[in-house]
Structure 1
């Protein structure tokens, strides 16, 4: 690329893909989406994280005359993308509150002179009359609305400023627009199209499948111990995200991980902005950093080598779960999504839904989404098939890369145990939470049992054959399957539903999944995973370490994250192909003309030195 946007007008998308971004071919719907925009038409794009959404607007912005304007909700995301584009030789800038007045003025002047190819803006900045007037005087190639699900009032990432972005259609009717998101069910999709005036746009819905992510969901027993075992046995030295529901849990978990020797940093909305920015910068630029966060962290984080996402609490919807787990394995290499959940999560999220300020319809929808999330946790069949079915996509066969495929869960006839639990709930008046009911079942001598004289009820002590953990698992599954409900307005009391009648009357059996006795197997079948991780031999290890060290040094010299130089997948291909000259280096995926000029000679010298030794 040159410094002038007008110089790119004669270049084809294929040329830009190969020479600017270093890729030999388009994936999935990318080519159709790009051509739609190059032709001047609008598009709505649903594509999973790591599917190549950015190229869908970056390439047409470079192929059309003028500057592409990208609306992005987060300053950090803008900075990451602009750094990566500059490394590829693209004249890209952002306008946001982090810039000094003189810097912003210079960027605006360059826009008006036609020297920019891509400009990133926050929605609130774009909507300022001064900015709209500026854009009206510039030559604009397209508008890209990234993270478009933020327009949905049903979603957990709702941003009010996104509702006003329909003004682009009125103010700039001749400029093509594209809205992009990784997560949207059918209703959210319709809402995006309506609110952004994209009903007549061409809709592209790619597969939601992320075959390189291994999904594992298991009940909490000792969450810290479970997390530690996972990290120590599988994720030593890897970057990852650990999600918690509360700020206090974020901080305590981060401190505990630090004590265990991990490079862990907390992130939540209650921390000072400078601390959040520093922790996010370290996560992006250093290797092996673990961020412990609330959902305030992650949207748009463009870090390709996140090897795991762990949830220590239940997400409130499948959309949230899919989006958060999708931050792992953006480079296509194997990654793991671990979720630990318990009955207390169900209770807490039910309370939050009941206490929300939304309408009754909104509360009902939130409850349905929570139920769907719980259903995903408790199923005994392939997790990926159930996850994709939620987004109205069918998988032809079981995935072979989730815990239920790798270690099919055992089930047992829980009819008698369920009757004991249901009877105990009934005998104690349907007024108490799970902990107390289980105490009664197991014959515990607690102050509360004595206070309500529950040692006198007929169900006292009839459940000593099962542990408290097993009773909690039974209770959780009965709640999920609708036999019991948690009444948030009555101190989270367990109550029976109509579904209990045939079970209590012994008219139908009830099978539940058993508690796992050990962690699921960590095997990672690679048949469906794109860009499967190569096992490094002892002979390859020194060169691999040297390639990563060189990448880190070059990144630090330029003040950018290592992946801006090259992704891990590019280094792996370099390790395998051992290029000897620039032509062979250019044939490696992820190396375009600009990166070859900037970094090629350093890596060729390193490879030559190793070849000689």
Structure 2
């Protein structure tokens, strides 16, 4: 018996019609097919990979309604606005609606006027919504930001834990789809278990965001470093993440005082004010937001060109989520982390306070904090460090991070490392890194003298070095795996088998020192790390020239390097036209067109609807709604660029010309 091959709806035509793309991105076809087959799915895909398309296209062809569980009102508004622009009937049900508006939207939903409805997880438990849901034909439930079901996300939205119970209570269990950008092995297991996914299709397309440039800096003055960065990126849209509400307020005010328009966003700001601030940012009325982690999850603003971290976050999961809000349109963007010595202690305090009744979770969160700390101090490729944390194989070098583009010098620290090894082995019990630093320096603190640790043979072995130099040595040995740190609140340090082997075999131990751009010009410069061996400075000056040339050659320009001055000028005009259309339509500019689409228009300079329709991101609705305005902008620009004598023939496609003989 021959099994008839299943026929699928025209999903590729839908992709072109509604989204303006000719082909799917990696992972999208497999997930769409699984959902159309009625199978649960878990998609772990990087920001900008097109997760929403994976459930929106099946929703178009499914007979009933798709519910999308989304964490933030702003995300719902963005997604619904873009769907309606593409003429896919969609709505959101959340607290931003008045009682009358909510009742009307719910009534329309009951009449099957919408294919996709966005709701917050808290909405699922309300009697009015439950009554609607039990009567409606719900074909699919899509869970966005699905990592929120895991323990590290529950503090943000604990109601994510109620989703599986809600689905099970419906007359017919819908197909379940879960999506997230970042999930380690334990988080993935939590999603599968807590959402009760049935034999799901699991697809991980990778975590890499090639368009993002990563950098880590430890400036003496963080605020000056931020201002220096902003001066080099005028008018660009960016987010500055801070650890605390107080930092957020202070940074926003200082930036305004320095001439950089910025507003503060955190959970303590009244909800009406927060909504207004977010709208101002979405509509490009203000370019900068200083925010805590309360801002940004699920934000679909595609033209964020940079994310700056004013302090080290508490985990790589949190960092990559926040940094990932840059460059969602696929164009180059930058993620810069500024950190200082106080960041670790602040994070540790926050973690201990939030987990005082949960020792197991405290241990896990401290372990994540340690890896975040290691990221800030590693000399390896930053992108590879992140990807390996999420168990993704890497080449070890990306040529698009501050470590890969820097010039390094190997420093022999064998003598200092041997002193550290001897001290740790001599201690009567393990101690933390700060105690080791004080012992090596020869400090006579009360804890040291009362325990008679000042009587040890290794006490003061590195007393000729300053504390910063010893700290850098210990950090380097931890990063290179010669020392390990416990994951409990004490974080005691111990030697590893690799350190045992190196000492036993009398191996040379080296650590890498990054040559600094400004300090290297001064031949008296010796970093605290270098003072462990006091190397000759003379090779540094020529090495600096190599580093500058390497950066200029390899580092991508975050301001969209166009090929000609004419393309730059046209891109500026297109952005002006987009802003005008945005204000006329009451939509954020990036909903009208993302930056990447305008960039392609500027490069290709289409003159006909046919040519414009070939640009990625130009679907049928965008072509009809904005095609005339865009084409007129291009034509007027070319006319101004030339002698102003363009005729109708200049706007014909090749098919319009008669090339036959007379």
Q: Name the TM-score class by shorter chain.
A: 0.7 to 0.9
Distance, in Å, in 2 between the alignment partners of 1:384 and 1:431 is 32
CA contact (8 A) 1:151 1:163 kept: yes
What is the aligned partner in structure 2 of residue 5 from structure 1? none
Among 52, 62, 71, the alignment partner of 2:50 is 52
Deviation at 1:26, TM superposition (A): 0.4
What is the aligned partner in structure 1 of residue 660 from structure 2? none
Q: Deviations over 1:535-579 (max 9, x none)?
A: 253333332221111100110112211001001111111112222
CA contact (8 A) 2:410 2:510 kept: yes
Tell me, what secondary structure is at the counterpart of 2:19?
A: coil
TM-score when normalising by structure 2: 0.80
Tell me, what secondary structure is at the counterpart of 1:410?
A: strand
Q: Deviations over 1:378-426 (max 9, x none)?
A: 3322222222122121124621111221125333123444577899999
Distance, in Å, in 1 between the alignment partners of 2:368 and 2:477 is 17
2:568 pairs with 1:570: no
Among 576, 586, 610, the alignment partner of 1:583 is 610
2:67 pairs with 1:69: yes
What is the aligned partner in structure 1 of residue 538 from structure 2? none
Distance, in Å, in 1 between the alignment partners of 2:256 and 2:583 is 24
2:151 pairs with 1:153: yes
Tell me, what secondary structure is at the counterpart of 1:313?
A: coil
**Consecutive unaligned residues in structure 2, runs of 5 or more:** 1-6, 519-546, 641-662
Q: Deviations over 1:138-191 (max 9, x none)?
A: 233321111111111133655221111112144254522211111111111111
CA contact (8 A) 2:398 2:404 kept: yes
Q: Deviations over 1:33-69 (max 9, x none)?
A: 1121122221111111111001111111112222221
2:113 pairs with 1:86: no
CA contact (8 A) 1:247 1:294 kept: yes
CA contact (8 A) 1:438 1:471 kept: no
CA contact (8 A) 2:433 2:492 kept: no
Distance, in Å, in 1 between the alignment partners of 2:455 and 2:176 is 70
What is the aligned partner in structure 2 of residue 15 from structure 1? 13
Among 600, 604, 610, the alignment partner of 2:627 is 600
- Number of aligned positions between the proteins: 597
What is the aligned partner in structure 1 of residue 402 from structure 2? 403
Deviation at 1:328, TM superposition (A): 0.9
What is the aligned partner in structure 1 of residue 36 from structure 2? 38
Distance, in Å, in 2 between the alignment partners of 1:94 and 1:431 is 54
What is the aligned partner in structure 1 of residue 650 from structure 2? none
Change (3 A) 1:37 1:436: closer
CA contact (8 A) 2:314 2:369 kept: yes
Tell me, what secondary structure is at the counterpart of 1:232?
A: helix
Distance, in Å, in 2 between the alignment partners of 1:324 and 1:584 is 37
Change (3 A) 1:383 1:255: same
CA contact (8 A) 2:486 2:493 kept: no
Deviation at 1:25, TM superposition (A): 0.9
What is the aligned partner in structure 2 of residue 353 from structure 1? 351
Distance, in Å, in 2 between the alignment partners of 1:232 and 1:157 is 36
Deviation at 1:311, TM superposition (A): 1.4
CA contact (8 A) 2:416 2:462 kept: no
Distance, in Å, in 1 between the alignment partners of 2:505 and 2:184 is 39
Distance, in Å, in 2 between the alignment partners of 1:53 and 1:181 is 8
CA contact (8 A) 1:150 1:159 kept: yes
What is the aligned partner in structure 1 of residue 567 from structure 2? 540
TM-score when normalising by structure 1: 0.86
Change (3 A) 1:256 1:411: farther
Distance, in Å, in 1 between the alignment partners of 2:486 and 2:143 is 40
Deviation at 1:435, TM superposition (A): 11
- How do residues 195-214 of structure 1 correspond to structure 2 at under 5 angstroms? 195-214=194-213
Change (3 A) 1:80 1:134: same
Change (3 A) 1:431 1:185: closer
Change (3 A) 1:424 1:275: farther
Distance, in Å, in 2 between the alignment partners of 1:583 and 1:200 is 44
CA contact (8 A) 1:144 1:179 kept: yes
What is the aligned partner in structure 1 of residue 525 from structure 2? none
Change (3 A) 1:547 1:504: same
What is the aligned partner in structure 2 of residue 391 from structure 1? 390
Distance, in Å, in 1 between the alignment partners of 2:295 and 2:162 is 24
Q: Deviations over 1:326-355 (max 9, x none)?
A: 111111111111112233222332333344
Distance, in Å, in 2 between the alignment partners of 1:441 and 1:131 is 65
CA contact (8 A) 1:351 1:488 kept: no
- How do residues 50-199 of structure 1 correspond to structure 2 at under 5 angstroms? 50-155=48-153, 158-167=156-165, 168-199=167-198
